[in-house]
Chains A and B, each alone.
Chain A
């Protein structure tokens, strides 16, 4: 079966750095997405990786290793507004998104 694993919850301090990991097993791979979702709101796109390596976008970076079936989202200089769930999703061979359950990130002052 297809499976996306990510931690359920993480806690970090304002101003610090946090890394959210995602491992996946899917039938085919056409890219990995990270979405941010605030409570009660729709997901918003953060990043897309299809080749191995690091993609940097401001305070957020995303890394992919296809051979290991592994990605992480790195958030720097954490702000209180970064408190949200972070969803990892993989596009399979049918170009459908397989979603993880999300990691709830709690930022403390």
Chain B
């Protein structure tokens, strides 16, 4: 089945220790998104890619970086995680174009910072 896969599902890191979250997709979508979602809050868009064209949201902290080496994979790097970065990180994909373009979500990675 075509899908969006995120690894790991749960990630524990220590304060200040770099961590990388991964996302892969078999939907062949050209747009990929990274969201941060804290409890009872709306998902917050961190980055998105149209193909390899990178788009950084204006209020995304410099501590967060992203890579998309090919259409199928996307990575989120947190260089120095702080306690405030503990959240669910959601990867989503969509097919770019005018009109209807539903976003398909992976299961998410829950990040805990100790």
Contacts and interface: CB of A to CB of B under 8 A. Distances in A.
Interface residues of B, number: 21
Contact of A99 (B42, B96, B110): B42
Interface residues on A, range: 20 to 34
A102 B40 contact: yes
A102 B110 contact: no
A43 interface: yes
B102 A42 contact: no
B18 interface: no
A85 B41 CA distance: 10
A33 B99 CA distance: 12
Given A42-B106, A42-B108, A44-B105, A30 B99 contact: yes
A58 B73 CA distance: 35
B105 A43 contact: yes
B40 A101 contact: yes
A48 B42 contact: no
A33, A43, A45, A102: residue with the most chain B Cβ atoms closer than 10 Å: A43
B45 interface: yes
A48 B99 contact: no
A40 B40 contact: no
Interface of B: 40-43, 45, 48, 88, 90, 96, 98-108, 110
